[in-house]
Amino acid sequence: MVKIVFREHDGTEHVVDAKEGASVMLAAVTNGVPGIDADCGGACSCATCHVYVKEEWLDKLDAITPMEEAMLSLSSDRKDNSRLSCQIQVNANLDGLEVETPEFQY
Amino acid sequence: MTDSTTPQSKTRVKSASDQSKWSMVGKDPYQMPLEQIDLSHPGIWQANEYLPFLERLRKEDPVHYCADSAVGPYWSVLKYKDIMQVDTSPHIYSSEPTIGIVDQFSEFTLPMFIAMDPPKHDVQRRVVQPVVAPANLKILEALIRERVSRILDGLPVGEEFDWVESVSIELTTQMLATLFDFPFEDRYKLTYWSDVATAIPGAGVVDSYEERWQAMQECLQYFTRLWNERVNREGGNDLLSMLAQGEETRNMPPMEFLGNVLLLIVGGNDTTRNSISGGVLALNEYPEQYAKLRSDRSVIPNMVSEIIRWQTPLAYMRRTALVDTELGGKQIKAGDKVVMWYISGNRDEEVIEDANKFIIDRDKARQHLSFGFGIHRCMGNRLAEMQLRILWEEIMARFHFVEVVGEPQRVYSSFVKGFTSLPVKLHRH
């Protein structure tokens, strides 16, 4: 199991044990972490699992695909550390990963 | 082949749908050759007979070619996963030149970002996105609630009236006026222009293409005047100010401006309007769900998603293949029209459990296709959801039962899936 820390917009923290191979989005949804809607169910096609990744973890993630970039670029709340959590696969290198959920998903 | 001026219109059929040779009204979907099934004709949509046709195609021919129709040959995509694939592959399935099933006369073409591919689509969409983004909606919530309350408080109790006219249209019209900061006393013009933009000449709204074009010109002139007032003004949270002041949009050619204005009017009008009506009808058809709602109002946000799935207020979106490709084992050629029937994907039992039941506390209710997916996903989805949520909160605060007391009348269109009237009677708690 891999530890992932979700921080809500208001600061509320949720620490979950995530399964390797699953996505960070799924780790949130299956553990009842609020703030992630995942309307498309993990197909990288709605941008409602948007998270801000704590800077020191960014380099450990796979590169953003053109599809993810296309979806992220349409959000007004996009920042440099924005990712879609359905596109982050949980692995041992991400133990302790910290992400923040935005105030709104859309 | 038919000729048409707006992306939404379907055919030149003038009178009752069953008089057209293309109509499938009254036919048994299982007693006709597969290749003759033509979902594009508005007849079965107005007659509310479309579901068994969709069901047969999902089972027997989920990527279906219709070689001959009033709108020419086209592919129909029926299954959730295939629709998802088309919607998320804009490099294969283009939104240009139009997202309606009918190709347009070039002289009447209105450019709008729903019918553009990247990068231009992305640029224009980004400019107007903030006005319907949740941060801005939060500011609007109190005003929306106040307007919803006023509409509901003005309704007659215990006597029959038309829900479509008095609530669905009134509320969405007021909302559009708010979003555009449009002169409130002229707000019915917005509804008129929206109806005209999607109308089939002869079906009730306008009598000819010329009349429609004239109405569009009037719309352009009105909005041009507002634009000119706002272009040099500072700020403004409304859509028009954002377009007029946006770096990427301020030099838009007039027709492109009109196209995008109409896109926002239609996008925010028919869709929410028909989901407002459709929710009332669904709750009447499923009284145990209405009972569930009465016993627990916290289900409203989830119910809103279910209503939007159930109604699917835009039945389809069309794409055009850019290259030869394969979908569901069928060979699609570059240039072919490909129609994603969201309304069918939303009833696909392989993905959505008990898809043919209306269940307000359904698990994963948000995973419906009504907003589309990918880069063209409905920009106003959160606004739509908020309007419906507030409406149902305020309805439940006032009324025990919005009772449907007569047959709903449906729109003559295979694109706009909606109602022209819905007779109801209100009962207090």
Out of A41, A70, A104, the one facing B118 most closely (by C-beta) is A70
Task: Say how many CA atoms lie within 13 Å of B340 toward its Cβ.
Answer: 30
Residue-range definition of the domain harbouring residue B149: 17-428
* Strands A2-7 and A97-100, bridge-based pairing: parallel
Q: Please, are residues B135 and B119 in contact by the beta-carbon 8 Å criterion?
A: no
Predicted complex ipTM: 0.92
Question: Quick check: is B4 in a domain?
Answer: no
B168 CA to chain A: closest CA distance, Å?
24
Among B57-61, B62-66, B174-178, B183-187, name the one with the lowest average pLDDT.
B174-178
pLDDT of B189 above 90: yes
The mean pLDDT value of chain B amounts to 90
* Of B110 and A71, more confident: A71
Q: Please list every residue in chain B whose beta carbon sits closer than 8 Å to the beta carbon of residue A67.
A: 88
The chain-wide mean pLDDT, for chain A, equals: 96
pLDDT for the residue B5: 35
pLDDT in tens, B336-370: 999 999 999 999 999 999 999 999 999 999 999 99
pLDDT tens profile B294-327 = 999 999 999 999 999 999 999 999 999 999 999 9
Q: Which residues of chain A are within 8 Å of residue B366 when distances are taken between CB atoms?
A: 37-39, 48
Phi-psi category of residue A33: left, alpha or beta, with phi > 0 → left and psi -120 to 50 → alpha: beta
What is the tens place of the pLDDT at every residue in B237-284?
A: 788 888 888 887 788 888 788 888 888 888 888 899 999 999 999 999
Residue A8 has pLDDT above 50, yes or no: yes
Inter-chain residue contact B373 with A40, CB threshold 8 Å: yes
Task: Give the contacts of A58 (CB within 8 A, at least 6 positions apart).
Answer: A81
Total structural domains in chain B? 1
Q: Is the peptide bond before A34 cis (omega within 30 degrees of 0)?
A: no
Residue B13's pLDDT is 38
Give the tens place of pLDDT for each residue, A22-65: 999 999 999 999 999 999 999 999 999 999 999 999 999 999 99
Whether residue B381 and residue A106 make contact (CB cut-off 8 A), yes or no, is yes
- What the block records as the tokens of B422 is 């819905």
Question: What is the pLDDT, as a whole number, of residue B11?
Answer: 37
Q: How many CB pairs under 8 A join A and B?
A: 56
Amino acid at the residue A67: M
Is residue B2 predicted with pLDDT exceeding 50?
no
pLDDT band at B202 (very low <50, low <70, confident <90, very high): confident
Residue whose structure tokens are 């019209």: B173
Asked if B367 has any chain A CB less than 8 Å from its own CB, the reply is: yes
- Amino acid letter for position A81: N
Predicted local distance difference test score (pLDDT) of residue B367? 95
Which chain B residues are Cβ-neighbours of A38 within 8 angstroms? 366
Mutate to test the interface with A, among B81, B375, B383 (most CBs of A within 10 A): B375
Verify whether the Cβ–Cβ distance B366 to A77 is below 8 Å. Answer: no
Asked if B126 lies within 8 A of A103 by C-beta distance, the reply is no
Could you tell me the pLDDT band of residue B107, with boundaries at 50, 70 and 90? low
CB contact under 8 Å between B129 and A73, yes or no, is no
Nearest alpha-carbon partner for B26 in B59, B48, B55, B56? B48
Look at the block and give the residue holding tokens 């996009």: A78
Q: Can you give the pLDDT at residue B9?
A: 38
User: Which value, in Å, is the radius of gyration of the alpha carbons in chain B?
Assistant: 21
Find the CATH number of the domain harbouring B222.
Answer: 1.10.630.10
Q: Is residue B3 part of a domain?
A: no
Chain B touched by A67 (CB under 8 Å): yes
Q: Which of B57, B55, B27, B32 is nearest to B43 (CA)?
A: B27
Distance from CA of B367 to the nearest CA of A (A): 5
Q: Is residue B178 part of a domain?
A: yes
Residue B130 confidence (pLDDT): 80
Please indicate whether, in this complex, the C-beta atoms of A41 and B364 are within 8 angstroms of each other: yes
Q: Are B402 and B7 in contact (CB under 8 A)?
A: no
CA separation for the pair B210, B205 (Å, rounded)? 13
Any idea which residue has 């909302």 for tokens?
B175
Contact B375 A74 (CB under 8 A): yes
- The DSSP H or E segment spanning B424 is strand B423-428
Chain A residues in contact with B375 (beta carbon < 8 A) = 70-71, 74
Instruction: Please check whether residue A103 touches B, CB under 8 A.
Output: yes
Instruction: Provide the percentage of residues in chain A whose pLDDT is more than 70.
Output: 100
- Alpha carbon B242 to its chain centroid, in Å, reads 23
Q: A76–B130: do the CB atoms touch at under 8 Å?
A: yes
Q: What pLDDT, on a 0 to 100 scale, did the predictor assign at position A50?
A: 97
Token representation of residue A76: 């007004």
| Secondary structure (DSSP) of B113-137 | GGG--TTHHHHHHHHHHHHHSHHHH
Q: How many CA atoms lie within 13 A of B273 on its CB side?
A: 31
Cβ-contact B346, B312 below 8 angstroms:
yes
- pLDDT number for residue B18: 53
Selection from B207, B193, B266, B270 nearest residue B12 by Cα: B207
Chain A residue with the nearest C-alpha to that of B364: A39
Q: What's the fold here for domain A2-100? A: Ubiquitin-like (UB roll) (3.10.20)
pLDDT band at B10 (very low <50, low <70, confident <90, very high): very low
Q: Which chain A residues contact residue B371 at CB under 8 A? A: 39
Chain B residues in contact with A74 (beta carbon < 8 A): 122, 125-126, 129, 375
Q: What residue of B is the nearest CA neighbor of A78?
A: B126
Residue of A nearest to B87 (CA): A45
How close is the nearest chain A Cα to the Cα of B126, in Å?
6
Least confident of A86-90, B36-40, B200-204: B200-204
- Sign, Cα dihedral of B301, A75, B101, B419: positive
Burial (CB count <10 Å: 0-12, 13-18, 19+), residue B330: middle
Q: Is residue B319 part of a domain?
A: yes
B10 assigned to some structural domain: no
pLDDT at position B19, please?
Answer: 66
Domain ranges in chain A? 2-100
pLDDT beyond 60 at B8: no
Encode pLDDT of B363-417 as tens digits. Answer: 999 999 999 999 999 999 999 999 999 999 999 999 999 999 999 999 999 999 9
pLDDT at B162: 98
3-state secondary structure (DSSP) of residue B153: helix
The residue among B378, B379, B377, B388 whose CA lies nearest residue B303 is: B388
Reported as a pLDDT band with limits 50, 70 and 90, residue B3 is very low
- What's the pLDDT score for residue B106? 54
Residue to substitute from B239, B351, B366, interface A, most A β-carbons within 10 A: B366
In chain A, what residues touch B88 (CB-CB under 8 Å)? 43-45, 67
Specify whether the CB–CB gap between B398 and B141 falls below 8 A: no
